Structure 1
Amino acid sequence: MGGRSADKVKFTSYDDLFGSAEVVAAEEDRSIRVPLGELHSFKNHPFHVLDDEKMMDTVRSIRQYGVLVPEIVRQDGGGGYESVAGYRRKRGSELAGCRDMPVIVRKMTDDEATIVMVDSNIQREDILPSEKAWVYRMNMEALSHQGVKGEDYTANLVGEAAGDCARTVQRYIRLTYLRRELLIYVDQGKIVLVAAEKISFLSDEEQGWVLQMIQDNQSTVSKSQAEELREESSAGRLTEEQVTDILSRKTVSTSVTISAKRIRSYFPQDFTKKQIEEIIFRLLDSWKEKENQTGQLR
């Protein structure tokens, strides 16, 4: 950060750090055309590029108008370029039969490139839970490397672009500790997020038992079952037989629906959804801590 003390720097948004990935070009940026064969994927990027109907729309647009927004890239050590933002445009160019495409070459560190990659994708409407989980984790780590201090503050900064509060960001990051097969079930909607978060605290072996039960019985895991699994695991009592017993039980729905109008009545009119969520989770966490201290939590 230019040698400045991180304690004296106040970050308020991604643009304050590196500018918009799609619009703002720094003075040292270069705009050129690059053969598609010289463009390589960003290391460990979590986004899926599908040849679906939306991609076919992109292909038709490229054939008619060309690539209107250049891809953001940086030079790699092999003489080519590493794609940072614009994977869909590159794939669309390939399917459209193009040999090259316009790019903006930007000098970026690994952490800067990670943040630009996340910022250019996080607001997609079709982003999968697994994609959001990994980009949140990658962005948290990148911002921490940049000197942003405080987990809650960093999580708030990470979730800002997508309108998620710190607690939501932390919940998503927990999904990165799931086995790959379980995370696929989350993407498919076979395991709800709240249950998946609880399962993520189980060991790899314990998650394997859960996965086997789901596969053998074509079933899923409810929130209450996931809570019991985590409780038993934390106490060191969880066995394969217990997993079978817990997931074999029929559960009673404990879902609660609260009127949005009623919730709104407790907050000032200018409060955003993010601010309301933060206060609600803060109050719930405070209540839970108080109940734990008095030994009355049921």
Structure 2
Amino acid sequence: MKIYISADMEGITGVVDAEDVQPPGRDYERGRVLMTEDTNAAIRGAYDAGATAVLVNDAHGPMRNLLPELLDPRATLIKGRPKPLGMMEGLTSEYDAALCIGYHARAGVLGVLSHSFMGHEIEDIWLDDQLTGEIGLFHAAALAYGVPVALLTGDDTACAEMKAWDPTVATVPVKYAKDRFAAELVPVAEAQAAIEATAASALRNLPSVTPPPADRRLTVRWQSASVASHLTAIPGVTRDDDRTTTASGPMLHLYRLFNLYLRVATAVTTNPPYC
């Protein structure tokens, strides 16, 4: 059984602020350790369930956050950027399940460190007609590979967002949002034990995958009209209004296209920290 782990940081046990998740924040190095240990808990759970291989993709920010020397040596790590598929780099149809560790809620939702990919620059994303963020896009793209998402960890808001997309996905709330930069924390040892146990249980009881629609529609509402204008240079991308772009096609094409959007938007704007 081959397992894929996408590890973000905002939904990691114990972190609540930019200082915890962005270099050179005063608690960023501590956040890296917590991120690595949450990921290790998922790796242990995967091997408890019979995994034969685990691939971990560092999916947060600079994508150089996980500490290789502290990572469970049974796992292989993808580190650094740019990556054509960003948060799901390395995932293929060869994997039996995907685990989302440390994920966060979409922009506009009152969750810990909530945003969608670029912080303030992206106001909303719709997949077909459903509002989404990083959780929904990852889930849809994984299903396009035929790979079920077995587990998501993060705050209670992120867990609820995942359940709204797919109630069969197991979730572990490691904190309970009080505001965007405040949370009631689950004790670290308790949270990581729950990640390990829930990962193992979820992988022993994988749901069947329902084939997704062949074509999807991806709509993005940008803060900057300049970003939307530049993106229309990409064949197939149209503007619904000055700040809203739409593209249609197979989900995996749209996910790769969206990662190109992010590079264009970064080049066009002086994007401030999302918090």
Whichever of the two has the greater Rg, that structure is 1
Q: Structure with the greater relative contact order (CA < 8 A, sep ≥ 6): 1 or 2?
A: 2
**Which has the larger share of helix?**
1
**Which has the larger share of strand?**
2
